[in-house]
Structure 1
Amino acid sequence: MEEQPNNNNDGSGGYWWWAAASGVQLAWGIYSFRKGYSGDSRLMPLKAFGVASLFVGATATATIGTFSASGIHSVKDAVELGENIRSGLGVKGRG
């Protein structure tokens, strides 16, 4: 059986929106952080959680976008990359 090429992940286009989403989340987080707190004090924990979530979301989307754009689509790909880096540095594997 022949494998069909996956045209959705061509390695160049299609990941720009991960970067855009990350940038928007980061900008919104910075804006919210700089704006500070205003309003009812009972909502302060909810607002702080929302701002923190924007920063965590921006980091997550940037990380996933970077991995996807560089061709790391599974844990096996990441392990193989680590083995290649270790062998290139001359470091022995774990086992």
Structure 2
Amino acid sequence: MEGIEGGGIGGYWWWAAASSAQLAWGINFYRKGYAGDSRFMPLKAFAVASLFVGATASAAVGILRASGVHSVEDAKEVGASIRSGLGIPRRARDE
């Protein structure tokens, strides 16, 4: 796929689209409320909650990938950069 290796938003517009679609679908179902057989209420509640969790996960992955964080080591570097920018000393476990 084109644009997956580099940072930027070039190849990640679909992460935003997936997140937006899931969020819109979850809000739509939440606003409709409950209708129908009461035996299916737990299933419907789980489905709505899953849409919200999926939307959050899609958005988080899209943001991380678009900003160039592709591995745990990249995330550690970002964390170290944030800590040093805030003036917080390095952790004792860091080597």
TM-score (norm 2): 0.88
Give the aligned CA root-mean-square deviation in angstroms. Answer: 1.4
Change (3 A) 1:7 1:60: closer
Q: CA deviation at 1:7?
A: 5.1
Q: How many corresponding residue pairs?
A: 90
Question: Is 1:72 the equivalent of 2:38?
Answer: no
1:9 aligned partner, one-letter code: E
1:24-61 Cα shifts (integer Å, max 9, x gaps): 00000000000011111100000000000000000000
What is the CA–CA distance in structure 1 between the aligned matches of 2:45 and 2:31, rounded to whole Å? 12
Instruction: Give the fraction of aligned pairs with identical amino acids, expressed as a percent.
Output: 67
Change (3 A) 1:7 1:62: closer
**Which 5+ residue runs of structure 2 have no aligned equivalent?**
none
Change (3 A) 1:46 1:71: same
What is the CA–CA distance in structure 2 between the aligned matches of 1:10 and 1:80, rounded to whole Å? 17
**Which 5+ residue runs of structure 1 have no aligned equivalent?**
1-5
Other-structure match for 1:23: 20
In structure 2, which of residues 43, 48, 64 is the aligned counterpart of residue 46 of structure 1?
Answer: 43
In structure 1, which of residues 9, 14, 20 is the aligned counterpart of residue 11 of structure 2?
Answer: 14
